[in-house]
Structure 1
Amino acid sequence: MPEGDSVYQLSKRLQFMSGRTVTATSLRVPRFATVDFTGLSCERVWPYGKHLFMQFGPQVLHTHLKMEGTWAIHKVGARWKKPGHTARVVLQLDGEIEIVGHSLGLVEVFPAREYDLRMGYLGPDMLAADFDHDEVVRRIEATPHLEIGRALLDQKNAAGIGNEYRAEICFIAGTHPAREVGEVDVDKHVRIARKLMWANRDSPVRVTTGIKRAGETSYVFGRNNKPCRRCTTLIEKSFLGGRGDLERVIWWCPRCQPAP
């Protein structure tokens, strides 16, 4: 599942849509199949955490990539690289441009006036220019008995942190992901998260080690049974973090991140 920096970069790629008029609309999800943006201009495109938004007149198109979603940009009439049956959103814009969202995990349309109400459950956007560090800390500390690995992944606490960043944040902080929030320095974890994500916001390759060479970009993520870059202990992974299910597989170093 893409992290917040991936959606941030996607939004930047799609900024050319702003000011262009929609010439054809096809939303291939039953609930919104009759929605038509044709004749409306795209007022803006923006990300919030892992969510992508496009506003057309008084309506907002809200999408989420989930596990397999992608967006492609073509000239109208050009052959798609992905099969047509995976397309969930097809928008044609003036200038003979076609935007196609494939295998999107979420597609919905709602009135722009409802944006704050609908998305208000999300925590501060980790990549916002006015990122609210203290609010993220407050939200995480409100659940002292929750595992820090689960709390970091909860989008109601902070919008944009995904599984890769979760693993790397915990390693850099020296924290086992199954440790309870009340046992760790939450402020430290949030500072690491913001620093890592901000540094990668424009990078085509996500790097948490400071080394961009292939195979050396992460400390623990995706490195099961490989030696820790700090102590050479073999990295472990599991769906279980010692105190319950941490929702998705996570990696850690048994020596640098002692289990609770």
Structure 2
Amino acid sequence: MVLAMPEGDTVFRTARRLEAALGGKALSMSDFRVPAHATLSLVDWMVESVVSRGKHLMIRTRPPAKVSAPPLSIHSHLLMEGHWDVYATGERWRSPAFKARAVLGNPAFTAVGFELGFLHVLRTTDEVEVIGHLGPDPLGHSWDPAEAVRRLLFAPQRPIGLALLDQRLICGLGNIYRSELLFVARVHPRTPVGEVEDLAHLVDLAHRLLNANKDRARRVTTGADGMNRYWVYGREGQACLRCGGNLKMESLAESTRGAERNVYFCGSCQAAQVPSTEGVH
């Protein structure tokens, strides 16, 4: 089994579920199970909105009229194993309580954040301090493909397989989308950014693939929600679905001391750099 960090589409769907359960309602339950906020209570605070930015999640709240305080945002990141679950209030949780880091609820629903990578509460006006560095979000209302291309070209000699994971350039992409995008575009992961023939096409594919999956329960890049949902991710040693060649996996890192991340690709058909629209449905 190949483990992967939740990517932008997963966090987008999580934000939408939380918005449907909590948005526009006052909290009747507030329990933060992290030391920094263990004494904080947001009971009676209104959940204004829930939004995602790349792999980051913001639950924005405002105080009741009787409380003199600024609006606060609950900022979380899922990292590898984190998840927010939504339950009918009183329903039994599917994960053990000791893994819960935050519990928020109203009379109808309870949202529980389990094994969150990090969780902290800050003034809503200070959100820029924690997400302002992020690049354009393919699932955001202010998606700017030209800005994404510009940022990717900051370091033209950097391998494209590393650049696509840099959240400062484009946010929301992880190992899965990195591998799938490069395969669909027929670009080898070690190709320098400045040598990618049509970088704008690759950026457009990122936007299209994430948007194609944002409403799906199971992510699909091949268009077939069956045995092979992915073109290359997690399929090293198997046959390429496009050319029949042997799929490979390699580790990429910024330097000999950098964290390595596995990338999957076809050594045969990714040598060519011919734009393609395969996998976008």
Determine if the TM-score, normalized by the shorter chain, exceeds 0.5: yes
TM-score by length of structure 2 reads: 0.86
Which residue matches 1:48? 53
Contact 2:232–2:266 (Cα < 8 Å) also in 1: yes
Question: Separation in 1 of the partners of 2:252 and 2:260?
Answer: 8
Q: Shift in Å at residue 238 of structure 1? A: 2.1
Q: Shift in Å at residue 32 of structure 1? A: 1.6
Which residue matches 1:7? 11
User: Does the C-alpha gap of structure 1 residues 50 and 219 become closer, same or farther in structure 2, counting only changes over 3 Å?
Assistant: same
Aligned to 1:22, what secondary structure does the other structure show? Answer: coil
Question: Separation in 2 of the partners of 1:104 and 1:230?
Answer: 38
Which residue matches 2:171? 159
Amino acid aligned to 2:212: A
Deviations 1:114-146 (A, max 9, x none): 122331100011112331000000000011111
Contact 1:150–1:247 (Cα < 8 Å) also in 2: no
Which residue matches 1:113? 125
Contact 1:21–1:94 (Cα < 8 Å) also in 2: no
Question: Separation in 1 of the partners of 2:152 and 2:122?
Answer: 29
Amino acid aligned to 2:85: A
> Which residues in structure 2 correspond to 1:103-252 (within 5 Å)?
103-184=115-196, 185-212=198-225, 214-240=226-252, 247-252=260-265
CA RMSD, 1 decimal = 1.9
Which residue matches 2:76? 63
Amino acid aligned to 1:80: W
Question: Separation in 2 of the partners of 1:211 and 1:74?
Answer: 31
Matched, 1:32 2:27: no
User: Does the C-alpha gap of structure 1 residues 37 and 243 become closer, same or farther in structure 2, counting only changes over 3 Å?
Assistant: closer
Unpaired stretches in structure 2, ≥5 consecutive residues? 63-70, 273-281
User: Does the C-alpha gap of structure 1 residues 134 and 173 become closer, same or farther in structure 2, counting only changes over 3 Å?
Assistant: same
Question: Separation in 2 of the partners of 1:138 and 1:240?
Answer: 23
Aligned length, in residue pairs:
257
Question: Separation in 1 of the partners of 2:8 and 2:186?
Answer: 23
Amino acid aligned to 2:43: T
User: Does the C-alpha gap of structure 1 residues 217 and 174 become closer, same or farther in structure 2, counting only changes over 3 Å?
Assistant: same
